[in-house]
Amino acid sequence: MLVFIAACIFCAYLLTYFAYGLLFRKITGKEETGPGYVLTAGMFLYSLAFLVFVPGPKYFRMPLHLISRCWMAVWIGSVTVILILLRREAKNLLCEACDFCRNNRLNTVLFLGFNLFQVGFDELYGRWSSSNNPSNYVAYVTTAVFTDELGTTHPVTGRPLKAFATKMFTETYMDHSAVIAKLFHVHPLIEIRWVVPALFLVMGNIIVAVLARSLFEERAKRWLFFAGYQAAVACTTGSYLFSSFYTYFRNYEGKTVISAVILPVMFYIFWRLYKDPCDRNALVFGVICIAGSFHFTGTALFLIPVACLGLVPAIASGKHLKRMILNAMVLVLPCIVYAAFYAGVKMGLINLTIR
């Protein structure tokens, strides 16, 4: 029964990402994008929506069960409205996906089989870790569910906090997991240790496939790139020194999104901007993904500016120099906003005292 509930929550996530991705595609007018692109855009747009929604209720100590009900209304209402208004686009995209699967049966079976194998490996063997830090993530969600408040109690000691932790105040994906656990009436471990790891793995594989499709026209080269990428990740999994350690053994933490999703997304954005520096859709897509990444991890504050060095070769080529510099500046804007918030808290300009 618990496995069935976890599968339902997982499917609810994918359906939500699909709906929000359709909305993003409709707004930007990028009709030729495929299902993988739509799911990725939807993931970050939905995450950004929750990131904007939850800080207010959390700051004013609204009970978790009320926050959950309010978000359920927003969540179900928005997905329903989007699917009704964009039903034709949804149907066309699903038909496109079905046609692709029929024309690429072997590749589809291999991709699905690989995802099932990877998720199965993680569910069976991905519980090991070498430190106590991962317990904080599970404890935060569990504490929120059983105290009916978000971020007001220390997740390990159980003592009431005098102020919200700045890092935890903005990394709202654990708040979202608490909301999901409350809505589906399941123990937080089902959400944070079953559903979230599977979701990160599958979405990571989807975006790598999208990147491969953008890089290569030949299908054989796409699969070679995909296999090579996964092999590189797998070969470094056993070492704590590599980010791929998180992919299997600590992939319920926000850091996992960096290696599994955010970095491949950034490479995809850079490649599109390198091919066409005036690609506004790629730029908007990048801003949404970067802004939505703060829902998962504040480390994006440092990662994104460094990752934007990926535009240096394009800038050095001298082609569309001003445009490429402008693109890099726009992509860093969400990081500047987040840095300003963080600096405001540290300087006492923003008060996160729990009242």
Mean pLDDT of 1-13: 89
Q: Are 248 and 126 in contact (CB under 8 A)?
A: yes
pLDDT higher than threshold 90 for residue 47? yes
pLDDT of residue 229: 78
How confident is residue 64, by pLDDT bands cut at 50, 70 and 90?
very high
Mean pLDDT of 18-32: 84
| Chain mean pLDDT for the chain | 83
pLDDT of residue 85: 92
- Assigned domain for 278 exists: yes
pLDDT of residue 312: 67
Cα 3 to Cα 193: distance, rounded to the nearest angstrom: 12
Kindly state the tokens that stand for 125.
Answer: 């063997």
pLDDT of residue 316: 65
pLDDT of residue 273: 84
If DSSP codes are grouped into helix, strand and coil, which group holds residue 355? Answer: coil
Integer angstrom CA distances of residue 33 from 15, 96, 201, 277, 285 = 17, 10, 22, 18, 12
pLDDT higher than threshold 70 for residue 197? yes
If DSSP codes are grouped into helix, strand and coil, which group holds residue 276? Answer: coil
pLDDT of residue 304: 67
If one counts the domains in the chain, the total is 1
- Assigned domain for 351 exists: no
Range of the domain at 125: 2-346
Mean pLDDT of 127-142: 71
- Assigned domain for 355 exists: no
The whole model's pTM is what? 0.90
CA 29 to chain centre: 22
Using CB atoms within 10 A of its CB, is residue 242 exposed (0-12), middle (13-18) or buried (19+)? middle
How confident is residue 132, by pLDDT bands cut at 50, 70 and 90?
low
Residue whose tokens read 């496995």 = 3
pLDDT of residue 22: 92
Mean pLDDT of 186-212: 88
How confident is residue 23, by pLDDT bands cut at 50, 70 and 90?
very high
pLDDT of residue 57: 92
pLDDT of residue 317: 63
pLDDT digits (tens, 9 = 90+) for 161-173: 888 888 778 889 9
pLDDT digits (tens, 9 = 90+) for 272-329: 888 888 888 888 998 999 889 888 887 777 766 666 666 666 666 666 777 877 888 8
Query: How many other CB atoms are there within 10 angstroms of residue 347's CB atom?
Result: 8
Cα 180 to Cα 196: distance, rounded to the nearest angstrom: 11
- Assigned domain for 283 exists: yes
Cα 268 to Cα 213: distance, rounded to the nearest angstrom: 10
pLDDT of residue 159: 86
Residues contacting residue 266 through CB under 8 Å, at least 6 positions apart: 286, 289, 304, 307, 310
- Assigned domain for 88 exists: yes
